[in-house]
Amino acid sequence: MDTIRFLWDYNLSEENVINMLKSGNKFEKAWLIGRIITYADWDTIKRLLNGAIIASVMPLIVEYGWAREDAIWQWKKLLTDWGFKIEQDTHFTTG
C-alpha cells in the first residue's frame, strides 16, 4: 500500500482516507480533514473534500489544533468567500 503524502506517518491508502471521511466519527473526520487542509496539495483537497465538510468540522480542528494556524486562517477566509458564515470565530454555517 502506498502511503499518501499528507499522511506520511500513517499506513493509509487513499481508499482508507475516503472510507474514514464517509464513515468515521466526527473526531476522526476532523483530525483527517485538518491533515488534508494543512498538508495536501490543492488537487487532492478538491478531490476529497468540499466546503461543507470542511466547515462542518472546523470548530473541532480549531479546538484541538489539528491544522496549522496559517491553514486554519486561510480556510476560514475561503469558507467565508464561499458563503459560509463564521459564528463565534470558529463555527461555520451556510447561507
- Residue 83: DSSP 8-state: T
pLDDT string in tens for the chain (95-residue length): 555 878 888 888 889 999 999 999 999 999 999 999 999 999 999 999 999 999 999 999 999 999 999 999 999 999 999 998 765 555 445 54
pTM for the complete prediction? 0.83
Q: Which residue has the cell 476529497?
A: 48
Helices (H), the chain: 14-23, 26-39, 42-48, 51-64, 69-81
